[in-house]
Amino acid sequence: MDQAVVLDQHGQKLTPCSKDKARRLVTEGKARLVNEDPLVIELPLVATLHEKRAAAPDQPVEGTMLLLHICCGPCGTYPINRLRELGFSVTGFWYNPNIHPYAEHERRRECVAAYASEVGLPMIWSEGYEMPLYFRQVAGHEERPERCATCYRLRLARTAQEARERGFDAFTTTLLISPYQQQSVIRSIGEELAEKNGIQFFFENLRRGWGERGRLAREHHLYQQHYCGCIYSEVEAATARQRASPRAAGTATLRPESAPG
């Protein structure tokens, strides 16, 4: 296939475009990657115009205390390096009640703990496993993109609260690195929560580090998950795999990059 398939948020096909253009749109944060082979992207129905820029400065003051929500080990690699490079004093935060089942949640948590120890990243761990809360929050919003926006808000709200209560200057999330996530939605929610909590939300298009993320994950032998985290995304990933390769659907391994986060 010489061109990429382009979908709207309801899964309806739009005019196809070249693969180069599709990948550029994803890298720039203007589209979400749905599938790599065949290449499928999703365009938002409405573009969000950010008249007010992110509260955190482009070049932060050395030592600015930032709480980094970490969705998984691989997605934490490049963002940790980048934020430290910018001058932030970074602390990681684990809160991902969407991850299902419990064994998967614990495996990803252990991966983050091991990598944080390796790179000297202090961590704050949310107590317990709040999967019931996640299901209550997404009830009635089980389909994309509403489900994902609800999940972003749940995790970022807890991160912002934790940052405010512990005296951090700013917060952000590793979700911003994934081409499979809705970056503009994450940014809007983050900025809203920052204003509500009286702290800063740092935004940068971290997708430019997606390739580096893969290299670092392999270099450090990090567990690379097969789906975003929730049971809905696991089913969606399997369905997408089946459509792409019906014969292999029963045996093929889900793509490691299927919407991590």
Note the pLDDT tens digit of each residue in 155-207.
999 999 999 999 999 999 999 999 999 999 999 999 999 999 999 999 999 99
In whole angstroms, how far apart are CA 13 and each of 7, 16, 120, 165?
5, 8, 46, 45
Separation of alpha carbons 173 and 202, rounded Å: 9
CB neighbour list of residue 46: distance below 8 Å, 6 or more residues apart = none
Say how many residues make up the chain: 261
Helices (H), the chain: 19-27, 73-86, 102-119, 131-138, 146-165, 183-197, 210-219, 231-244
Separation of alpha carbons 118 and 247, rounded Å: 41
DSSP 81: H
Give me the percent of the chain exceeding a pLDDT of 70: 85
Note the pLDDT tens digit of each residue in 17-67.
888 888 888 887 778 888 877 888 887 754 343 434 444 445 556 789 999
- Nearest to residue 91, comparing CAs of 114, 115, 120? 120
Model pTM score: 0.80
Note the pLDDT tens digit of each residue in 87-109.
999 999 999 999 999 999 999 99
Note the pLDDT tens digit of each residue in 205-242.
999 999 999 999 999 999 999 899 999 999 988 887 77
**Residue-range domain boundaries for the chain:** 1-45, 65-211
**How buried is residue 59: exposed, middle or buried, by Cβ count under 10 Å (0-12/13-18/19+)?**
exposed
Give 91's strand partners: 67
- Under CATH, domain 65-211 is a member of which superfamily? HUPs (3.40.50.620)
Return the percent helix, strand and coil in the chain, to nearest 5. Answer: 45, 15, 40
